[in-house]
Structure 1
Amino acid sequence: MRLHYAGKCRLCGAELAARAEAIYERPTKTVRCLECRAAAIDSDLPTPELETDGIVDVGTPGASARREFDRRQSKREERIRSKHPKLGGLILALSDDPQSTKSWDVGAVGEERVGTRLNELASESLLVLHDRRIPGSRANIDHIAVTATGVYVIDPKRYKGRPSLKVEGGPLRPRVEKLLVGSRDCTKLVDGVLKQVDVVRRVVGDEVPVRGVLCFVDADWPLIGGSFTTRDVESLWPRRLYPKLQADGPLTVDAIADLHRRLAIGLPAA
């Protein structure tokens, strides 16, 4: 979270200014800096001081996207009111946010809807995390589900159009798979999920299955079929995803809880 007041990291004693990002521990009302957590994780050493006494911050669905939308909207309003002191309110009332700003709201809504449903489905065999920060990066992972069949990295997208897989190449040319939404080439989305899967795999190890999912919300899916997999990343819709997360599998309740705790520590809430 962003600190409302200045504080001091309880592990290293570093001074943390107001508005700085840090980990807030509700039970003890203390804070920890992100550097201490990341350093401990990267060292591959036991980190008992990072345990949360059984309390795991699961995060807030869509929090980062919502904050960015609010920031851009507030900055635009401030800029217009400053430039037009008398007519600023009227200009704002008669104009709309630019597409670059509205896209953050669209994305946040998709994450919030998927995250809310994941929270409703959560059980001892389906534990979830939302909006997780990738250490050393400004990027984040929207949702992680720890289930009996493994760990799912879930990236919701609220795009218009029908998702489809286009395969190019043949016997004499290399096979190339492209993810299309309508006529738009969205293959880069698969690349993004694969990077997130690698990050999660570094936390849980190679023994645990880690699957990447692109969950298209409000897309134009056909009545029959529709879902597909490219480079081990599955593209589907929310109602197709949820039963997969609830399926029986080899991981025990204790193993699920341990993985969930490790992921919460290794990938803090954004």
Structure 2
Amino acid sequence: MAAELGPRDTRMRLRYAGTCRLCGRALPAGTDAVYERDRRTVRCLECALDEPPAPETLEPGTAGASARREYERRHRRREERIRTAHPKLGGLILALSDDPQSTQAWARGAMGEELLARRLQDLPTSARALHDRRIPRTRANIDHIVVSPGGVWVIDAKRYKGRRPSREATGGVFGPRIQTLRIGGRDGTALVDGVRKQAALVAAALGDATPVAAALCFLEADWGFFGSPFSISEVLVTWPVRLVKRIAESADVGVDVDAVAARLAAAFPAA
């Protein structure tokens, strides 16, 4: 029977042969060893006894938590107003009417963040994801921060069902060439500016040479049969599967993932 050693590790009898992550010793099937859940690796009991206790588990946050709370707050306030104004018919009015679009938008946003968080679980185990991080001294938040050996990604999740993101260029010849983001034909360039500012705040919090990239990730959008990701002002505009692939394939530049993730978790607390 497996015996828990801590929040991350389990002592168990191996069903399959493995190799100790620390000393490289071969561990045949049936050997008692420690399975490391986060890394999906094993270490022998001798190394387990010699290794210092694991650091406190990083709190990744809950995707969409703040947006979900705001939706529920607005939903409750509307219900209270209607029941107070119409004691007898309040229940019927609520049953026959929906929340206003401004309230429903918070629920859609929360679901978008939740869906993207599930996709980010497909990242290699070497990456760390932080969700719904509060920007200190503001009411704003960062949807997702991913720390990988190739750098840090600041990601804004957007759920625009059925709308097509595209890049439009204007100007040129005798004036500057300007690229804008269009979403279903409407100007969405403010979204690019927003995630760029978030990435700048993350880079400033690190204060070193760690690469920081920004991405707008659209969920349930209409990319068309030949659609592909594109960049505007150094912001990657893409969808979840391609984003995960891009992060996973980024060249390893030696980022200390656990240390950087811990610094960012402290600088941008869970919302």
Is the shorter-chain TM-score for this pair beyond 0.5, marking a shared fold? yes
Specify the alignment match of 2:146 in structure 1: 145
Bigger radius of gyration:
2
- Alpha-carbon separation, structure 2, partners of 1:201 and 1:221: 30
Contact 2:122 2:244 in 1 (8 A): no
Q: How does 1:203-214 map to 2 (within 5 A)?
A: 203-214=205-216
Structure 1: tracts of 5 or more residues without a match: 1-51
Identity of counterpart residues, as a percentage?
52
How many pairs align? Answer: 217
Specify the alignment match of 1:128 in structure 2: 129
Corresponding letter in the other structure for 1:184: R
Contact 2:71 2:107 in 1 (8 A): yes
What SS does the aligned partner of 2:181 have?
Answer: strand
Specify the alignment match of 2:267 in structure 1: 266
Corresponding letter in the other structure for 1:150: G
Contact 1:134 1:267 in 2 (8 A): yes
- Alpha-carbon separation, structure 2, partners of 1:71 and 1:235: 31
Structure 1 residues 74 and 120: CA distance shift in structure 2, 3 A: farther
- Alpha-carbon separation, structure 1, partners of 2:122 and 2:74: 31
Specify the alignment match of 1:229 in structure 2: 231
- How high is the TM-score relative to the length of structure 1? 0.77
Per-residue CA shift, 1:224-260, capped at 9, x if unaligned? 242110000010011111112222533447x011100
Contact 2:119 2:240 in 1 (8 A): no
1:205 deviates by: 2.4
Specify the alignment match of 1:166 in structure 2: 168
The CA RMSD over aligned residues, in Å, is 1.6
1:93 aligns with one of 92, 95, 98: 95
Specify the alignment match of 1:82 in structure 2: 84
1:53 deviates by: 4.8
1:80 deviates by: 0.4
What SS does the aligned partner of 2:169 have?
Answer: strand
1:81 deviates by: 0.5
Per-residue CA shift, 1:82-103, capped at 9, x if unaligned? 1011110000000011000011
Corresponding letter in the other structure for 1:71: R
Mean Cα deviation higher: 136-145 or 53-62: 53-62
- Alpha-carbon separation, structure 1, partners of 2:151 and 2:81: 48
Specify the alignment match of 1:3 in structure 2: none
- Alpha-carbon separation, structure 1, partners of 2:129 and 2:203: 16
Contact 2:134 2:270 in 1 (8 A): yes
- How high is the TM-score relative to the length of structure 2? 0.77
- Alpha-carbon separation, structure 2, partners of 1:99 and 1:93: 16
Corresponding letter in the other structure for 1:226: S
